[in-house]
Amino acid sequence: MFQNIGEMLVLFWRALAALPLAWRHRQKALDQFFEIGVASLFMVCILSFFIGGVMALQTGPLLVERGLGSYVGAIVGYSIAKELAPVLMAVLIAGRIGSAMAAEIGSMRVYQEIDALRTMNINPVHYLVLPRLTALAVALPMLVTIAIVVGWMGGALVASSNARIAVSFEAFFNALRSTVDLWDVANGVFKSFMFALIIAVVSCHQGLITRGGPRGIGRSVTKAVVNSIVLIVISDYFLTRILLK
């Protein structure tokens, strides 16, 4: 993976340089955007709802036992907004969308469709990478924003309905509001934007360097998902360091 980082940076730079052409490729980006949304929204809601619930279930009884029940909303809200929603949704999207990107571009590479584009003087970075990059860079932060809200709802529902926690909806959100501010949410959403760039660049790069037949495509898909997740987790540490108040 690490020997390809230079190539991935070059690909990212080329896609950035092509950003002025994004409007021209808006239809392709919109198609990608809706594909990402339709494929992922339901899963994002389910996943984030239960993450919120589990967080409340794990922390709630411990805090209540120590007389800190009023902090349940704060801890669940803070961890979901800043860490769990951006990272776990990025992992989900790497699996669902990154794999699809690598498979589609990889099969285009193997079956000479990308060579055909080049012979027509159509730049594959403009035609294939730019729309995917822009669509994911918009879609993932939106999905993470939804995931944060749904995760809070899941946490609040479990905290209020579980007898060992018994923190009301109102108390949960009061605690959440007193601790989590807009900066914390923006922090998580910004991380997801960076993760989106990582997923799109890694997956498109893997697709573009695919060699061989169906086995090569399968290998690219696996590498795209694994490399994306590894880079998401590593970059999460550095982003957290940079974004610490």
Partner 1 sequence: MNEAISNQNGVCLQVRGLRKAFDGQVVLHGLDFEVEPGEVFVIMGPSGSGKTVLLKHLIGLEEPDAGEILIEGQPIQSPEVMSQYRMAMVFQSGALLNSLTVGQNVGLYLSEHRLRSPGEIARIVTEKLEVVGLAGTEEKMPSELSGGMKKRVAIARALVIEPQLILYDEPTSELDPLSAVVIAEEIVRLNERIHVTSLVVSHDRDLAFGVADRIAVINQGRILTIGTPDEVKQHKDPLVQQFLHADFKRH
Footprint of partner 1 (CB under 8 A):
24, 104, 107-108, 111-113, 115-122, 127
Nearest to 147 by CA among 7, 48, 38, 233: 48
First to last CA, the chain: 32
- In Å, how far from its chain's centre is CA 79? 16
Nearer to partner 1, 2 or 23 (CB): 23
CB of 24 to partner 1, least distance (A): 8
CB of 119 to partner 1, least distance (A): 5
Nearer to partner 1, 108 or 231 (CB): 108
CB of 116 to partner 1, least distance (A): 4
CB of 114 to partner 1, least distance (A): 9
Nearer to partner 1, 120 or 182 (CB): 120
Nearest to 178 by CA among 71, 36, 42: 71
Nearer to partner 1, 7 or 115 (CB): 115
Pull the structure tokens for residue 153. Answer: 């709802």
Nearer to partner 1, 42 or 111 (CB): 111
Nearest to 190 by CA among 137, 134, 129: 137
DSSP annotation string for 158-186: HHHH-TTT---HHHHHHHHHHH--HHHHH
Q: What is the spatial distance between Cα 176 and Cα 77, in angstroms, rounded to a whole number?
A: 6
Q: Is-contact 55 80, C-beta < 8 A?
A: yes
CB of 2 to partner 1, least distance (A): 23
